[in-house]
Amino acid sequence: MKRSRFISLAAVTAAVFLSSCWLPEDFDAKVLIAPDGSYTFSYEGVLSNILALEAISKDAFTEENDAEVREQGAELKKEPGFTAVDYLGRGRFKVSVRLDKPAGETCHFLSKDIKLFSMETGEDKTLSVTSFSLEEKDLESLRTIGGRTWGTFTVQVPNKLKVLSANADKKQKEGKTAKNYIWHIDDPLTAASIVVKW
């Protein structure tokens, strides 16, 4: 992505996803694992441009800035799995994403360098699924510009697969064949995490 013309947000660059400029908001993210270890990742929700939020908080968001944000949204459309990217205005995009992966393949959303959600496979036929987390200082920096990240993250696991570890907020049966592990994410200091053996 080309160099941004926005003012820098140096206080929050310690967090990888914050330095990427995209903040997940009001989202429903899911990982549906199949009995053979293949899986589908989906994301329905908002991605907000953090530099735009900062500029807006300082009453410095210009038409030039808005045009740049729109250009970045066009770049998002080119990323694998993005099926919809709709600009809501003021730096926010409503997006839909679906990524289907075979057993044994690692996947990161938004990308390998920007890990909002990660599905990493091990040689021992394990799938480790994790979400992003923040440090307290990053949360404080976000709050100063009116930023916040929240949503629901669900990992569905077939009953025939073994869950080695999980820190879910809630577990819920999905019919007779699977179980949902659910996290309610709201400015998280701890990452969601689950490890499944397939």
pLDDT digits (tens, 9 = 90+) for 168-189: 999 999 999 999 999 999 999 9
The string of pLDDT tens digits covering residues 65-79 is 999 999 999 999 999
Q: Which residues contact 154 (CB under 8 A, 6 or more apart)?
A: 28, 29, 30, 31, 180, 181, 182, 183
Secondary structure class of 11 (helix, strand, coil): helix
Question: How many domains does the structure of the chain reveal?
Answer: 1
Is 5 contained in some domain? no
- Position 192 in a domain: yes
- Is residue 17 situated within a structural domain? yes
In a domain, 64, yes or no: yes
The residue count of the chain comes to 198
* Residue numbers of the domain that contains 175: 10-197
CATH code of the domain containing 48: 2.60.40
Domain annotation covers residue 33: yes
Q: Which of 41, 154, 46 is nearest to 99 (CA)?
A: 41
C-alpha 66/C-alpha 69 separation (Å) is 5
Answering whether pTM is above 0.75, one says: yes
